């Protein structure tokens, strides 16, 4: 194996959770997506069972190919066509990393340092994330184990300070537009979970393979829970219309916290959370990109690819979103949902079907 390191099931759960939830901590993009009303939090609840169902092809593929990543078993299943499949998946990793890099650079520029060009933050993030990616899986796993609990506890503390100002009447009536928009919203939320393919890359490196099923259940349950905990205060404190018009609704809510005129201006803690989360998320996606490409090219080491991929990410990030408005337009569900499902659902499902038909994997023995 290119990667000799191992990751514990706890580290993998926290890595998947943190990588997925940090985007919502900064942007909470689901506010302007179906159901686009007070039932948004119900979509976040429904995310859990839907995400489990959509990730089932990845789990079943792992059962057939426990020692291979999705890049490797794509070739085992489909031969030369599998090489093309692997290349498409690597493109998705690279593209998503560039999107994430652009998102957090524009977030820091818009919310904190408007006079600082986004390129400065892109370069800074790439340098530190390249270092983490080069250090490998064990380092990224340990970082997630260190930072994720701090971020989770901080978010719970923020929620406890916000409760007194939350107007729960805003959440009524329930299911105003029926169940379908809520279901649609949960499908959109699930489409943003690139981490499903992250599992398809990292499960072979798990040090305890008896824990695979709990990884799927607990990571997606945590994501669903924290999506609800992020959405409720935003909607009940800002009101639906103001929340939908805000570029950074969670940041706006935290700025409103004021306890006894002495506990306020907590947005600096929020910024620290976002920065730590962005570092882990980009490092994780960066690592998946270089690991996948090195497996596709059958290299002995992935480390020589770290700097070239980093050099490619900067112009790609600028090309995807030259400004925050265009980046948000591209990331909207009308464009991104179908694009993402092609990679995280259609490709794994077709690979699983082909493996069953061609009797590939341990099930054929």
In this prediction, residue 329 carries a pLDDT of: 73
pLDDT for 365 beyond 60: no
Phi-psi region of 346 (alpha: psi -120 to 50; beta: other; left: phi over 0): alpha
pLDDT for 363 beyond 70: no
> Which percentage of the chain shows pLDDT scores above 70?
96
Q: Please state which of the ranges 201-210, 216-225, 252-261, 299-308 shows the lowest mean pLDDT.
A: 252-261
The CA radius of gyration of the chain, in Å to the nearest whole number, is 20
CA distance 18 to 153: 13
pLDDT in tens, 130-166: 999 999 999 999 999 999 999 999 999 988 888 888 9
pLDDT for 65 beyond 90: yes
pLDDT in tens, 148-157: 999 999 999 9
**DSSP states of 214-249 as a string?**
HHHHHHHHHHHHHHHHHHHHHHHHH-HHHHHH-SSH
Torsion of CA 278, 325, 124, 147, to 10 degrees: -10
**H-helix or E-strand spanning residue 314:** helix 306-320
Helices and strands in the chain: count of H runs, count of E runs: 17, 2
Residue pair 191/12 in contact by the 8 Å Cβ criterion? no
Q: Which domains does the chain have, with CATH numbers?
A: 9-364 (1.20.1740.10)
Q: What are the Cα distances from residue 244, in Å, to 28, 82, 248?
A: 9, 42, 9
Confidence of residue 266 (pLDDT cuts 50, 70, 90): confident
Strand locations in the chain (E): 258-259, 263-264
């Amino acid at each position: 194996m290119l990667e000799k390191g191992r990751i514990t099931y706890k580290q993998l759960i926290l890595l998947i959770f943190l990588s997925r939830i940090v985007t919502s901590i900064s942007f909470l993009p689901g506010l302007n997506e179906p159901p686009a009303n007070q039932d948004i939090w119900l979509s976040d609840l429904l995310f859990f069972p839907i995400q489990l169902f959509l990730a089932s092809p990845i789990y079943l593929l792992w059962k057939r190919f426990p020692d291979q990543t999705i890049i490797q078993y794509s070739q085992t299943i489909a031969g030369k066509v599998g090489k093309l499949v692997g290349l498409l998946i690597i493109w998705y990793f690279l593209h998503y990393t560039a999107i994430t890099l652009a998102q957090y650079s524009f977030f820091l520029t818009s919310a904190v340092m408007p006079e600082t060009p986004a390129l400065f933050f892109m370069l800074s993030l790439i340098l530190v994330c390249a270092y983490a990616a080069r250090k490998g899986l064990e380092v990224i796993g340990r970082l997630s184990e260190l930072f994720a609990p701090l971020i989770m506890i901080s978010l719970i503390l923020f929620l406890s300070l916000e409760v007194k100002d939350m107007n729960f009447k805003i959440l009524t009536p329930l299911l105003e537009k029926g169940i379908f928009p809520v279901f649609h919203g949960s499908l959109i939320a699930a489409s943003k979970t690139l981490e499903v393919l992250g599992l398809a890359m990292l499960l072979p490196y798990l040090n305890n393979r008896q824990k695979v099923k709990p990884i799927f259940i607990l990571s997606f349950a945590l994501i669903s829970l924290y999506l609800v905990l992020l959405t409720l205060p935003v909607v009940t404190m800002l009101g639906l219309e103001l929340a939908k018009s805000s570029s950074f609704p969670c940041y706006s809510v935290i700025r409103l916290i004021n306890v006894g005129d002495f506990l306020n201006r907590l947005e600096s803690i929020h910024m620290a959370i976002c920065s730590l989360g962005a570092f882990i998320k980009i490092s994780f996606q960066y690592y998946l990109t270089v690991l996948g490409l090195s497996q596709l090219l059958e290299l002995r080491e992935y480390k020589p690819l770290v700097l070239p991929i980093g050099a490619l990410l900067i112009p790609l990030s600028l090309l995807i979103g030259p400004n925050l408005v265009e980046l948000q337009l591209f990331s909207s569900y009308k464009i991104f949902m179908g694009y993402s499902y092609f990679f995280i659902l259609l490709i794994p499902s077709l690979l699983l079907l082909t493996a069953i038909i061609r009797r590939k994997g341990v099930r054929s023995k």
